Amino acid sequence: MDFRSELNGKEKVAQSLIGMESTGTPIVVNGQRADVILANEKKSKFNTKVDEYVDKFEKHNKALEDYAKEISKDINGLEILPMGSYALIKPFDENPFQKITVESGIITDLGGFTPQYKSEEDGQIHELEQFIRVGTVIETGFKCEFLKEGDVVFFTKASEATVPFFKQGFVVVNESRIMAIVNEKLTERKNQIKDNGNK
Protein backbone atom coordinates (compact mmCIF):
# COMPACT_ATOMS: atom_id res chain seq x y z
CA MET A 1 0.00 0.00 0.00
CA ASP A 2 1.31 3.49 -0.91
CA PHE A 3 2.18 5.91 1.85
CA ARG A 4 0.55 9.36 1.67
CA SER A 5 1.85 12.34 3.54
CA GLU A 6 -1.17 14.55 2.85
CA LEU A 7 -4.83 14.29 3.74
CA ASN A 8 -7.87 15.61 1.99
CA GLY A 9 -10.38 17.87 3.73
CA LYS A 10 -12.84 15.12 4.67
CA GLU A 11 -10.01 12.87 5.88
CA LYS A 12 -8.70 15.58 8.18
CA VAL A 13 -12.16 15.90 9.75
CA ALA A 14 -12.41 12.13 10.13
CA GLN A 15 -8.93 11.95 11.65
CA SER A 16 -9.75 14.63 14.17
CA LEU A 17 -12.93 12.77 15.13
CA ILE A 18 -11.77 9.14 15.16
CA GLY A 19 -8.01 9.36 14.54
CA MET A 20 -5.84 7.54 12.01
CA GLU A 21 -5.57 3.84 12.55
CA SER A 22 -2.11 2.67 13.61
CA THR A 23 -2.06 0.10 10.81
CA GLY A 24 -2.20 2.88 8.22
CA THR A 25 -5.46 1.45 6.87
CA PRO A 26 -7.17 4.07 4.72
CA ILE A 27 -10.05 5.86 6.35
CA VAL A 28 -13.42 5.47 4.71
CA VAL A 29 -15.60 8.57 4.57
CA ASN A 30 -19.21 8.31 3.44
CA GLY A 31 -18.51 4.89 1.95
CA GLN A 32 -15.48 6.07 -0.09
CA ARG A 33 -11.78 5.54 0.64
CA ALA A 34 -9.97 8.73 1.60
CA ASP A 35 -7.19 8.24 -0.95
CA VAL A 36 -9.77 7.98 -3.74
CA ILE A 37 -11.42 11.18 -2.49
CA LEU A 38 -8.01 12.90 -2.50
CA ALA A 39 -7.26 11.74 -6.06
CA ASN A 40 -10.65 13.00 -7.22
CA GLU A 41 -10.06 16.36 -5.54
CA LYS A 42 -6.71 16.71 -7.34
CA LYS A 43 -8.28 15.68 -10.67
CA SER A 44 -11.07 18.21 -10.17
CA LYS A 45 -8.57 21.02 -9.43
CA PHE A 46 -6.50 20.07 -12.51
CA ASN A 47 -9.57 19.97 -14.74
CA THR A 48 -10.65 23.37 -13.42
CA LYS A 49 -7.22 24.78 -14.32
CA VAL A 50 -7.43 23.25 -17.80
CA ASP A 51 -10.91 24.72 -18.26
CA GLU A 52 -9.58 28.14 -17.26
CA TYR A 53 -6.77 27.94 -19.85
CA VAL A 54 -9.14 26.69 -22.56
CA ASP A 55 -11.49 29.58 -21.79
CA LYS A 56 -8.57 32.02 -21.96
CA PHE A 57 -7.43 30.71 -25.36
CA GLU A 58 -10.97 30.67 -26.71
CA LYS A 59 -11.37 34.33 -25.77
CA HIS A 60 -8.02 35.10 -27.42
CA ASN A 61 -9.04 33.26 -30.62
CA LYS A 62 -12.39 35.05 -30.64
CA ALA A 63 -10.58 38.40 -30.41
CA LEU A 64 -8.37 37.41 -33.37
CA GLU A 65 -11.39 36.32 -35.40
CA ASP A 66 -13.15 39.61 -34.67
CA TYR A 67 -10.02 41.51 -35.73
CA ALA A 68 -9.76 39.48 -38.96
CA LYS A 69 -13.41 40.26 -39.74
CA GLU A 70 -12.81 43.97 -39.19
CA ILE A 71 -9.78 43.85 -41.52
CA SER A 72 -11.67 41.97 -44.23
CA LYS A 73 -14.35 44.69 -44.29
CA ASP A 74 -11.76 47.11 -45.67
CA ILE A 75 -9.18 44.82 -47.28
CA ASN A 76 -8.81 47.10 -50.32
CA GLY A 77 -7.23 49.77 -48.12
CA LEU A 78 -4.58 47.43 -46.70
CA GLU A 79 -0.98 47.33 -47.84
CA ILE A 80 1.79 44.88 -47.03
CA LEU A 81 5.39 46.07 -47.14
CA PRO A 82 8.53 44.08 -46.33
CA MET A 83 10.95 45.74 -43.94
CA GLY A 84 14.62 46.59 -44.35
CA SER A 85 16.42 44.57 -47.01
CA TYR A 86 13.69 41.92 -47.33
CA ALA A 87 11.74 41.28 -50.54
CA LEU A 88 8.13 40.09 -50.54
CA ILE A 89 7.90 37.25 -53.07
CA LYS A 90 5.09 35.19 -54.59
CA PRO A 91 6.68 31.83 -55.45
CA PHE A 92 5.68 29.87 -58.56
CA ASP A 93 4.26 26.42 -57.90
CA GLU A 94 6.89 25.05 -60.27
CA ASN A 95 10.02 26.43 -61.91
CA PRO A 96 8.77 27.99 -65.20
CA PHE A 97 12.26 27.79 -66.74
CA GLN A 98 12.64 24.01 -66.55
CA LYS A 99 13.13 22.15 -69.82
CA ILE A 100 12.16 18.63 -70.72
CA THR A 101 14.94 16.28 -69.61
CA VAL A 102 15.38 12.82 -71.13
CA GLU A 103 17.62 10.21 -69.50
CA SER A 104 18.17 6.84 -71.20
CA GLY A 105 15.07 7.42 -73.31
CA ILE A 106 12.88 8.15 -70.26
CA ILE A 107 11.43 11.64 -69.67
CA THR A 108 12.33 12.61 -66.11
CA ASP A 109 11.36 16.31 -66.22
CA LEU A 110 8.34 17.65 -68.09
CA GLY A 111 9.35 21.33 -68.04
CA GLY A 112 7.40 23.20 -65.41
CA PHE A 113 6.47 20.06 -63.52
CA THR A 114 8.42 18.65 -60.61
CA PRO A 115 10.94 16.05 -61.85
CA GLN A 116 10.15 12.48 -60.82
CA TYR A 117 12.22 9.40 -60.16
CA LYS A 118 11.55 5.73 -59.61
CA SER A 119 12.56 4.58 -56.16
CA GLU A 120 14.77 1.49 -55.99
CA GLU A 121 13.42 0.82 -52.47
CA ASP A 122 9.69 0.59 -53.16
CA GLY A 123 9.52 0.71 -56.98
CA GLN A 124 7.15 3.71 -56.84
CA ILE A 125 7.40 7.02 -58.72
CA HIS A 126 8.20 9.95 -56.40
CA GLU A 127 8.51 13.69 -56.95
CA LEU A 128 11.99 15.13 -56.51
CA GLU A 129 12.04 17.72 -53.74
CA GLN A 130 12.86 21.16 -55.09
CA PHE A 131 15.47 23.04 -53.05
CA ILE A 132 15.68 25.99 -55.47
CA ARG A 133 12.55 28.14 -55.60
CA VAL A 134 11.51 30.68 -58.22
CA GLY A 135 9.14 33.58 -57.61
CA THR A 136 8.11 37.12 -58.53
CA VAL A 137 9.09 40.09 -56.36
CA ILE A 138 5.87 41.78 -55.24
CA GLU A 139 7.48 44.53 -53.17
CA THR A 140 10.90 45.42 -51.75
CA GLY A 141 11.99 46.84 -48.42
CA PHE A 142 13.46 50.35 -48.27
CA LYS A 143 17.02 49.01 -47.87
CA CYS A 144 16.98 46.80 -50.98
CA GLU A 145 19.64 48.12 -53.38
CA PHE A 146 19.13 46.10 -56.55
CA LEU A 147 15.83 44.22 -56.47
CA LYS A 148 12.79 45.80 -58.09
CA GLU A 149 9.10 44.95 -58.16
CA GLY A 150 8.43 42.49 -60.98
CA ASP A 151 11.85 40.80 -60.90
CA VAL A 152 11.75 37.01 -61.13
CA VAL A 153 14.21 35.62 -58.61
CA PHE A 154 15.85 32.32 -57.66
CA PHE A 155 16.38 31.54 -53.98
CA THR A 156 16.80 28.51 -51.73
CA LYS A 157 13.89 27.07 -49.79
CA ALA A 158 15.95 27.44 -46.59
CA SER A 159 16.27 31.21 -47.05
CA GLU A 160 12.53 31.94 -47.18
CA ALA A 161 10.13 32.74 -44.37
CA THR A 162 6.39 32.33 -44.88
CA VAL A 163 4.18 35.41 -44.54
CA PRO A 164 0.61 34.31 -43.70
CA PHE A 165 -1.34 37.17 -45.31
CA PHE A 166 -4.88 36.27 -46.42
CA LYS A 167 -3.66 32.92 -47.83
CA GLN A 168 -1.66 34.63 -50.57
CA GLY A 169 1.30 32.25 -50.23
CA PHE A 170 3.82 35.10 -49.81
CA VAL A 171 7.36 34.57 -48.53
CA VAL A 172 10.07 37.05 -47.59
CA VAL A 173 13.73 36.58 -48.51
CA ASN A 174 16.63 38.87 -47.64
CA GLU A 175 18.07 40.52 -50.76
CA SER A 176 21.51 39.12 -49.90
CA ARG A 177 20.09 35.57 -50.12
CA ILE A 178 18.75 35.97 -53.67
CA MET A 179 20.80 33.75 -55.98
CA ALA A 180 19.81 35.10 -59.42
CA ILE A 181 17.42 37.56 -61.06
CA VAL A 182 15.55 37.36 -64.37
CA ASN A 183 14.33 40.58 -66.01
CA GLU A 184 15.14 42.98 -68.84
CA LYS A 185 17.92 45.60 -68.66
CA LEU A 186 19.57 44.09 -65.58
CA THR A 187 23.05 44.98 -66.84
CA GLU A 188 21.95 48.58 -67.28
CA ARG A 189 20.56 48.58 -63.74
CA LYS A 190 23.79 47.12 -62.39
CA ASN A 191 25.92 49.72 -64.17
CA GLN A 192 23.78 52.57 -62.85
CA ILE A 193 24.30 51.33 -59.28
CA LYS A 194 28.06 50.98 -59.88
CA ASP A 195 28.24 54.50 -61.37
CA ASN A 196 26.32 55.97 -58.42
CA GLY A 197 28.70 54.20 -56.05
CA ASN A 198 31.75 55.66 -57.77
CA LYS A 199 30.55 59.26 -57.48
Q: What is the CATH number of the domain that holds 186?
A: 2.30.33.40
| 106 plus 134 within the same structural domain | no
* The pLDDT of residue 43 is above 80: no
| 110 plus 67 within the same structural domain | no
Confidence band, pLDDT 50/70/90 cuts, at residue 8: low
* The pLDDT of residue 117 is above 80: no
Q: Is residue 59 included in any domain, yes or no?
A: yes
Mean per-residue pLDDT, 78-97: 88
| 68 plus 141 within the same structural domain | no
Q: Is residue 151 included in any domain, yes or no?
A: yes
Confidence band, pLDDT 50/70/90 cuts, at residue 94: confident
| 105 plus 134 within the same structural domain | no
Number of domains, the chain: 3
Q: Is residue 152 included in any domain, yes or no?
A: yes
| 135 plus 58 within the same structural domain | no
| 13 plus 39 within the same structural domain | yes
Enumerate residues 6+ apart whose C-beta is below 8 A from 87: 137, 139, 140, 141, 144, 147, 153, 172, 173, 174, 175, 178
The pLDDT assigned to 138 comes to 93
Name the phi and psi angles at 166, rounded to 5: 50, 40
| 86 plus 149 within the same structural domain | yes
Q: Is residue 176 included in any domain, yes or no?
A: yes
| Per-residue exposure over 148-183, b if at least 16 CB sit within 10 Å of its own CB, e if not | eeebbbebeeeebeeeeeeeeebbbbbbeebeebee
| 57 plus 140 within the same structural domain | no
Kind of pairing, strands 152-156 and 132-140? antiparallel
Name the phi and psi angles at 101, rounded to 5: -115, 130
**Mean pLDDT, rounded, of the chain:** 76
List, for residues 138-194, the tens digit of each pLDDT value: 999 999 999 999 999 999 999 999 998 878 889 999 999 999 999 999 999 999 988
Range of the domain at 112: 98-127
Q: Is residue 1 included in any domain, yes or no?
A: no
Q: Is residue 3 included in any domain, yes or no?
A: no
| Cβ(97)–Cβ(180) below 8 Å | no
155 SS3 class: strand
